[in-house]
């Protein structure tokens, strides 16, 4: 199966700082998502980004599919950004039907006031 590695495993920032989270994957993928898991356990969709670049407010993501990595950028971090950030990937079968996401182990982000 596909292997997904995220780095760093832990990150502590001061409020206002910028950060970059990385996701490496071992094979070509059709689906890549970034999630934020809040302290209550809810997984919040951030980006669906199997390739290219997207931005949403202070967050942006870039996936370079040919080199098998994705980056999540957080600018001007806030305490509410704290939590675990997961990258997850999937491959479709030729029929196009959904297949399971394989999750990385996550990056635990702590933003200090």
Partner 1 sequence: DVKVTQSSRYLVKRTGEKVFLECVQDMDHENMFWYRQDPGLGLRLIYFSYDVKMKEKGDIPEGYSVSREKKERFSLILESASTNQTSMYLCASSLSAWEGRAVTDTQYFGPGTRLTVL
2 binds partner 1 (CB under 8 A): no
Q: Tell me how far, at minimum, the Cβ of 40 lies from partner 1, in Å.
A: 7
Q: What is the footprint of partner 1 within residues 83-112 (CB under 8 A)?
A: 86, 88, 90, 92, 96-98, 100-101, 103-106
| CA atoms of 108 and 84, how far apart (whole Å) | 4
3-state secondary structure of 89: strand
Interface residue with partner 1 among 14, 40, 56, 113 (CB under 8 A) is 40
Task: End-to-end CA distance of the chain: give it in Å, rounded.
Answer: 40
Q: Give whichever of 31 and 62 is closer to partner 1, judged by the CB atom.
A: 31
SS3 content of the chain, % helix, strand, coil (to 5): 5, 55, 40
Contact yes or no for 75/18 (Cβ under 8 A):
yes
Q: Which residues bind partner 1 (CB under 8 A)?
A: 30-31, 33, 35, 40-45, 48, 50, 86, 88, 90, 92, 96-98, 100-101, 103-106
């Amino acid at each position: 199966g596909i292997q997904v590695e995220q780095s760093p495993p832990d990150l502590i920032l001061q409020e206002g700082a910028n950060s970059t989270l990385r996701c490496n994957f071992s094979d070509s993928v059709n689906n890549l998502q970034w999630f934020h898991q809040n302290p209550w356990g809810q997984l919040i969709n951030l980006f669906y980004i199997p390739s290219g670049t997207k931005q949403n407010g202070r967050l942006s993501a870039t996936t370079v599919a040919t080199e098998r990595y994705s980056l999540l950028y957080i600018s001007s971090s806030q305490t509410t950004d704290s939590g675990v950030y997961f990258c997850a990937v999937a491959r479709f079968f030729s029929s196009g039907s959904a297949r399971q996401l394989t999750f990385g182990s996550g990056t635990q982000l702590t933003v200090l006031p």
